[in-house]
Amino acid sequence: MVDIYKKLQEVRNEGKDAVIVTVTEKSGMGPADVGKKMIVIEGNVAFGTVGGGAIEYYAREKCKEVLNSRQSFTERYLLFDREVKVDNDEVVLPMACGGRVTLFYEFVGPKQYVYIFGAGHCGAALARVLKPLGFFTTIIDERDYVINALDDSADIKVNEGFVEYIEKHGLPDNRFIVVCTPSHTNDYNVLNKILELKIKPKYFGMLCSKKKIADYLEKAYEVFGRDIDLSNFYSPIGLQTGGDSPEEVAISIAGEILSVYYGKEKINSHMRDLAKK
């Protein structure tokens, strides 16, 4: 028998989103007993059970929506019909039992996923700032001595080349990306790869001066054209706090990440806005 809670911890340690489906109510006949649980992760992989049959198949399909919306909710089911339909706020499922069941779909996952390219002073400080804020951080650096010197603030530490990591593991859309590598060349190569692969980050911030980013964007336009979507690109990175120590820069970046996460970017003072003047 699968230990649901142990499996959930494994999934969370791997930085994966999950849905816990729990039978919260039951009346009449049916295979879904109150308290039964099932965990579903990306790829429609499930552990545990809420009773099998049509209700479990439907629940697993429903979990795809939950993983996409990242919202929890409750849904009621009537186990009696030949097809799936919604009637009187109940989902009617093709089961002959005749009972009623309520399932609670609980989304379990971090606030968001942040990929930090560069584990130097600013990257390491950012991981420390983000740790108590509910973000899952992956920090990447090709320098083994820098990775080995990190504390446990980052959830995942990867000792690989910056572009190599993207080519090998990919980057999902709608994630948060921070680029603060030890050289502008590496910074630019990461951005180039993201543009080349047409990855769509929710937030992409680069630690860079106004002059450097202006020069680079001209080169990017030459390669990718003027119609590239840079609406989620933030450089110079961070909010205008006035501080320039690694810790202060990290707070500035974390503030901008929170601003974007909560949809508040229009009322805050972004560094990138200075580059437009």
Could you read off the pLDDT of 205-237 as tens digits, one per residue? 999 888 788 888 888 888 888 888 888 899 889
Same domain as 248, residue 187: yes
pTM of the predicted model, to two decimals?
Answer: 0.80
Same domain as 222, residue 131: yes
Q: Which of 83, 108, 133 is the last residue of a domain?
A: 108
Hey, what are 83's tokens? 């097809």
**pLDDT at residue 85 in the model:** 45
**pLDDT at residue 149 in the model:** 94
Q: Which of 108, 132, 148 is the last residue of a domain?
A: 108
CA end-to-end span of the chain? 63
Q: How big is the chain by its Cα radius of gyration, in Å?
A: 23
How confident is the model over 28-32, as a mean pLDDT? 73
Distance CA 154, CA 142 (A): 16
Distance CA 250, CA 233 (A): 17
Same domain as 239, residue 174: yes
Same domain as 259, residue 129: yes
Question: Which class for 202: exposed (0-12), middle (13-18), buried (19 or more C-beta within 10 A)?
Answer: middle
Same domain as 193, residue 69: no
% of the chain beyond a pLDDT of 90:
51
**pLDDT at residue 175 in the model:** 94
Hey, what are 260's tokens? 């974007």
For the domain that residue 197 is a member of, what is the CATH number? 3.40.50.720
Same domain as 132, residue 13: no
How confident is the model over 195-212, as a mean pLDDT? 89
Parent domain of 189: 113-276
Stronger pLDDT, 264 or 254, i.e. the higher one: 254
Same domain as 98, residue 118: no
Distance CA 175, CA 169 (A): 14
**Closest alpha carbon to 50 in 78, 77, 23, 90:** 23
Q: Which of 108, 129, 161 is the last residue of a domain?
A: 108
Same domain as 35, residue 16: yes
Tell how far CA 115 is from the center of its chain.
10
**pLDDT at residue 246 in the model:** 93
Distance CA 268, CA 234 (A): 13
Same domain as 139, residue 244: yes
Same domain as 210, residue 268: yes
Same domain as 89, residue 117: no
Q: Which pairs from 213-216 meet CB under 8 Å and 24+ separation?
A: 213/275, 214/275, 216/184, 216/188, 216/191
Same domain as 57, residue 142: no
Instruction: Return the DSSP state at 110.
Output: -
Q: How many separate domains does the chain show?
A: 2
- Amino acid in position 220: A
Q: Write the pLDDT tens digit of every residue in 35-64.
A: 999 999 988 899 999 888 888 888 999 999
